[in-house]
Amino acid sequence: MGQPRTYVLVHGAWHGGWCWRRVADRLKSEGHRVFSPTLTGLGERAHLLTREVDLDTHIADVVGLLVAEELEDVVLVGHSYGGIVITGVAAREKSRLWQLVYLDAAIVEDGATWSSISPPEVALARRKAAKESSGGLSIPVPEAGVFGLTDPDDLDWVQRRMTPQPFAAYDQKMSWRGPVGNGLPKVYVDCTAPAYAGLAAVKERYRGKPGWTFVELKTGHDAMVSAPAETAEVLLRYV
Protein backbone atom coordinates (compact mmCIF):
# COMPACT_ATOMS: atom_id res chain seq x y z
CA MET A 1 0.00 0.00 0.00
CA GLY A 2 2.13 2.89 -1.27
CA GLN A 3 5.76 3.54 -0.50
CA PRO A 4 7.48 1.88 2.45
CA ARG A 5 7.06 3.82 5.67
CA THR A 6 8.72 3.85 9.07
CA TYR A 7 6.38 3.18 11.99
CA VAL A 8 7.18 3.82 15.64
CA LEU A 9 4.58 2.19 17.87
CA VAL A 10 4.31 3.54 21.42
CA HIS A 11 2.50 1.41 23.99
CA GLY A 12 0.20 2.52 26.78
CA ALA A 13 0.19 2.25 30.56
CA TRP A 14 1.23 -1.06 32.14
CA HIS A 15 2.22 -2.45 28.71
CA GLY A 16 5.52 -2.69 26.85
CA GLY A 17 6.79 -2.97 23.31
CA TRP A 18 5.73 -6.63 23.43
CA CYS A 19 2.06 -5.72 22.97
CA TRP A 20 2.66 -4.61 19.36
CA ARG A 21 4.09 -7.93 18.18
CA ARG A 22 1.09 -9.02 16.09
CA VAL A 23 0.67 -5.61 14.43
CA ALA A 24 4.40 -5.12 13.86
CA ASP A 25 4.70 -8.48 12.10
CA ARG A 26 1.93 -7.49 9.70
CA LEU A 27 3.43 -4.09 8.92
CA LYS A 28 6.85 -5.64 8.33
CA SER A 29 5.34 -8.19 5.96
CA GLU A 30 4.15 -5.25 3.83
CA GLY A 31 7.71 -3.94 3.58
CA HIS A 32 7.65 -1.25 6.27
CA ARG A 33 10.20 -0.55 8.99
CA VAL A 34 8.76 -0.92 12.48
CA PHE A 35 10.07 0.05 15.92
CA SER A 36 8.16 -0.68 19.12
CA PRO A 37 10.23 0.67 22.02
CA THR A 38 9.45 -0.11 25.64
CA LEU A 39 9.23 2.97 27.84
CA THR A 40 11.48 3.28 30.89
CA GLY A 41 10.21 1.46 33.97
CA LEU A 42 7.89 -0.89 32.08
CA GLY A 43 8.05 -4.31 30.42
CA GLU A 44 11.59 -5.61 30.15
CA ARG A 45 12.75 -2.21 31.48
CA ALA A 46 10.74 -2.50 34.72
CA HIS A 47 13.99 -2.70 36.68
CA LEU A 48 14.63 0.95 35.79
CA LEU A 49 11.53 2.22 37.61
CA THR A 50 12.23 5.05 40.06
CA ARG A 51 10.23 7.98 41.40
CA GLU A 52 11.91 10.20 38.82
CA VAL A 53 10.53 8.27 35.81
CA ASP A 54 7.86 10.55 34.37
CA LEU A 55 6.38 11.73 31.10
CA ASP A 56 9.55 13.62 30.18
CA THR A 57 11.47 10.36 30.57
CA HIS A 58 9.08 8.58 28.22
CA ILE A 59 9.15 11.36 25.64
CA ALA A 60 12.95 11.23 25.80
CA ASP A 61 12.82 7.46 25.23
CA VAL A 62 11.05 7.95 21.90
CA VAL A 63 12.99 11.04 20.85
CA GLY A 64 16.18 9.14 21.60
CA LEU A 65 15.07 6.33 19.31
CA LEU A 66 14.28 8.75 16.47
CA VAL A 67 17.67 10.41 16.79
CA ALA A 68 19.79 7.28 17.37
CA GLU A 69 18.21 5.42 14.44
CA GLU A 70 18.22 8.59 12.27
CA LEU A 71 14.54 8.13 11.46
CA GLU A 72 12.66 10.47 9.13
CA ASP A 73 9.05 10.73 7.91
CA VAL A 74 7.87 8.59 10.80
CA VAL A 75 4.30 7.45 11.32
CA LEU A 76 4.16 7.80 15.11
CA VAL A 77 1.45 5.72 16.77
CA GLY A 78 0.42 6.05 20.40
CA HIS A 79 -1.94 3.70 22.23
CA SER A 80 -3.81 4.87 25.36
CA TYR A 81 -1.25 6.66 27.61
CA GLY A 82 1.09 6.51 24.60
CA GLY A 83 -1.06 9.21 23.02
CA ILE A 84 0.26 11.67 25.59
CA VAL A 85 3.81 10.54 24.86
CA ILE A 86 3.52 11.02 21.08
CA THR A 87 2.03 14.49 21.61
CA GLY A 88 5.17 15.37 23.54
CA VAL A 89 7.40 13.89 20.86
CA ALA A 90 5.60 15.93 18.19
CA ALA A 91 6.18 19.06 20.25
CA ARG A 92 9.93 18.41 20.27
CA GLU A 93 10.79 16.52 17.06
CA LYS A 94 8.18 17.52 14.48
CA SER A 95 10.71 17.56 11.65
CA ARG A 96 11.23 13.79 11.92
CA LEU A 97 7.52 12.93 11.78
CA TRP A 98 5.09 12.32 8.93
CA GLN A 99 1.85 11.67 10.80
CA LEU A 100 0.42 10.95 14.24
CA VAL A 101 -1.99 8.11 14.93
CA TYR A 102 -3.83 8.04 18.25
CA LEU A 103 -5.03 4.49 18.85
CA ASP A 104 -7.84 4.75 21.41
CA ALA A 105 -5.50 7.19 23.06
CA ALA A 106 -5.46 9.80 25.79
CA ILE A 107 -5.06 13.40 24.64
CA VAL A 108 -3.92 16.10 27.04
CA GLU A 109 -3.74 19.80 26.18
CA ASP A 110 -0.77 22.02 26.96
CA GLY A 111 -0.78 22.93 30.65
CA ALA A 112 -3.14 20.12 31.70
CA THR A 113 -2.39 16.76 33.36
CA TRP A 114 -3.10 13.12 32.58
CA SER A 115 -5.09 12.88 35.79
CA SER A 116 -7.28 15.81 34.75
CA ILE A 117 -8.79 13.87 31.84
CA SER A 118 -9.62 10.89 34.06
CA PRO A 119 -13.06 10.68 35.66
CA PRO A 120 -12.63 11.99 39.26
CA GLU A 121 -13.40 8.61 40.79
CA VAL A 122 -10.76 6.95 38.58
CA ALA A 123 -8.12 9.52 39.51
CA LEU A 124 -8.89 9.05 43.21
CA ALA A 125 -8.73 5.26 42.93
CA ARG A 126 -5.41 5.36 41.07
CA ARG A 127 -3.80 7.66 43.62
CA LYS A 128 -5.06 5.46 46.46
CA ALA A 129 -3.87 2.27 44.77
CA ALA A 130 -0.44 3.77 44.04
CA LYS A 131 -0.02 4.86 47.66
CA GLU A 132 -1.14 1.55 49.13
CA SER A 133 0.75 -0.72 46.72
CA SER A 134 4.08 1.09 46.42
CA GLY A 135 4.09 4.24 48.51
CA GLY A 136 3.23 6.27 45.43
CA LEU A 137 5.91 4.83 43.16
CA SER A 138 3.60 3.17 40.64
CA ILE A 139 0.00 2.38 39.73
CA PRO A 140 -0.58 -1.37 40.17
CA VAL A 141 -1.52 -3.62 37.27
CA PRO A 142 -5.28 -3.83 36.60
CA GLU A 143 -7.27 -6.82 35.42
CA ALA A 144 -6.66 -7.29 31.68
CA GLY A 145 -10.38 -7.55 31.07
CA VAL A 146 -10.77 -3.77 31.54
CA PHE A 147 -9.09 -3.34 28.16
CA GLY A 148 -11.94 -5.06 26.33
CA LEU A 149 -10.17 -8.40 25.91
CA THR A 150 -12.32 -11.51 25.96
CA ASP A 151 -10.24 -14.32 24.46
CA PRO A 152 -8.80 -16.38 27.35
CA ASP A 153 -5.39 -16.68 25.69
CA ASP A 154 -5.22 -12.91 25.09
CA LEU A 155 -6.27 -12.20 28.66
CA ASP A 156 -3.61 -14.52 30.03
CA TRP A 157 -0.90 -13.17 27.71
CA VAL A 158 -1.56 -9.53 28.60
CA GLN A 159 -2.08 -10.15 32.32
CA ARG A 160 1.21 -11.95 32.81
CA ARG A 161 3.19 -9.40 30.79
CA MET A 162 1.89 -6.17 32.32
CA THR A 163 4.00 -4.30 34.89
CA PRO A 164 3.14 -1.42 37.26
CA GLN A 165 2.88 2.02 35.66
CA PRO A 166 5.26 4.77 36.84
CA PHE A 167 3.09 7.18 38.84
CA ALA A 168 5.09 10.39 38.41
CA ALA A 169 3.54 11.09 34.99
CA TYR A 170 -0.01 11.01 36.31
CA ASP A 171 -0.13 14.48 37.88
CA GLN A 172 2.62 16.00 35.73
CA LYS A 173 1.64 19.22 33.94
CA MET A 174 2.12 18.96 30.18
CA SER A 175 4.45 21.38 28.39
CA TRP A 176 3.77 21.31 24.64
CA ARG A 177 4.13 25.09 24.03
CA GLY A 178 1.49 24.81 21.34
CA PRO A 179 -1.49 22.81 20.09
CA VAL A 180 -1.74 19.03 20.35
CA GLY A 181 0.07 17.47 17.40
CA ASN A 182 2.09 20.59 16.53
CA GLY A 183 0.34 20.96 13.17
CA LEU A 184 0.98 17.41 11.96
CA PRO A 185 -1.78 15.31 10.31
CA LYS A 186 -3.63 13.37 13.00
CA VAL A 187 -5.75 10.21 12.85
CA TYR A 188 -7.77 9.04 15.85
CA VAL A 189 -8.74 5.35 15.91
CA ASP A 190 -11.84 5.01 18.08
CA CYS A 191 -12.23 1.49 19.46
CA THR A 192 -15.93 0.94 20.11
CA ALA A 193 -16.65 -2.70 20.91
CA PRO A 194 -16.55 -2.28 23.82
CA ALA A 195 -15.67 1.38 24.24
CA TYR A 196 -13.21 2.29 27.01
CA ALA A 197 -15.34 4.50 29.24
CA GLY A 198 -12.48 6.61 30.56
CA LEU A 199 -11.85 8.10 27.11
CA ALA A 200 -15.42 9.14 26.28
CA ALA A 201 -14.90 12.83 27.12
CA VAL A 202 -11.63 12.99 25.19
CA LYS A 203 -13.21 11.52 22.07
CA GLU A 204 -16.16 13.91 22.21
CA ARG A 205 -13.82 16.87 22.46
CA TYR A 206 -11.83 16.02 19.34
CA ARG A 207 -14.39 14.34 17.10
CA GLY A 208 -15.11 16.66 14.20
CA LYS A 209 -12.36 19.07 15.19
CA PRO A 210 -10.40 20.50 12.20
CA GLY A 211 -7.20 18.58 11.52
CA TRP A 212 -8.46 15.32 13.01
CA THR A 213 -9.57 12.22 11.07
CA PHE A 214 -11.67 9.81 13.15
CA VAL A 215 -11.82 6.12 12.26
CA GLU A 216 -13.97 3.54 14.05
CA LEU A 217 -12.56 0.11 14.87
CA LYS A 218 -15.03 -2.40 16.25
CA THR A 219 -12.87 -3.99 18.92
CA GLY A 220 -11.82 -3.24 22.49
CA HIS A 221 -9.23 -0.85 23.88
CA ASP A 222 -6.26 -3.20 23.38
CA ALA A 223 -6.88 -3.33 19.63
CA MET A 224 -3.32 -4.34 18.81
CA VAL A 225 -3.96 -7.55 20.75
CA SER A 226 -7.63 -8.28 20.03
CA ALA A 227 -7.72 -7.13 16.38
CA PRO A 228 -4.16 -6.95 15.03
CA ALA A 229 -5.09 -7.46 11.37
CA GLU A 230 -7.69 -4.70 11.48
CA THR A 231 -5.37 -2.40 13.40
CA ALA A 232 -2.56 -2.93 10.90
CA GLU A 233 -4.98 -2.33 8.02
CA VAL A 234 -5.97 1.03 9.51
CA LEU A 235 -2.33 2.03 9.95
CA LEU A 236 -1.62 1.10 6.33
CA ARG A 237 -4.72 2.82 4.94
CA TYR A 238 -4.34 6.24 6.50
CA VAL A 239 -0.74 7.03 5.63
pLDDT tens track for 163-198 = 999 999 999 999 999 999 999 999 999 999 999 999
Distance, CA of 201 to CA of 185 (rounded, Å)? 21
C-alpha distance from residue 116 to each of 59, 90, 202 (Å) = 19, 21, 11
Closest CA to 17 of 5, 31, 30, 35: 35
> Contact 80/139 with Cβ under 8 angstroms?
no
Summarize pLDDT for 222-239 with one digit per residue, the tens. Answer: 999 999 999 999 999 976
Angle in degrees, 0-180, between the axes of helices 82-92 and 55-68, rounded to the nearest 10: 60
Task: Show the low-confidence residues of the chain (pLDDT under 50).
Answer: 1
**What stretch of H or E contains 124?**
helix 120-134
User: Could you tell me the pTM of the whole model?
Assistant: 0.97
What pLDDT is attached to residue 2? 65
Q: Which pLDDT value is given to residue 165? A: 98
CA separation (Å) from 144 to 5, 67, 114, 187, 215?
Answer: 31, 34, 21, 26, 24
Task: Determine the Cα–Cα distance for residues 158 and 228; give it in Å rounded to an integer.
Answer: 14
Q: Which of 29, 36, 80, 138 is catalytic?
A: 80
Would you call 115 a catalytic residue per the annotation? no
Q: pLDDT value at position 147?
A: 98
The β-bridge relationship of strands 138-139 and 97-103 is unpaired
Rounded to whole angstroms, the Cα distance separating 26 from 145 reads: 25
Query: What pLDDT shows up at residue 7?
Result: 98
Domains of the chain: 6-237 (3.40.50.1820)
Q: What is the pLDDT of residue 3?
A: 84
Q: Residue 111, class by beta-carbon neighbours within 10 Å (0-12 exposed, 13-18 middle, 19+ buried)?
A: exposed
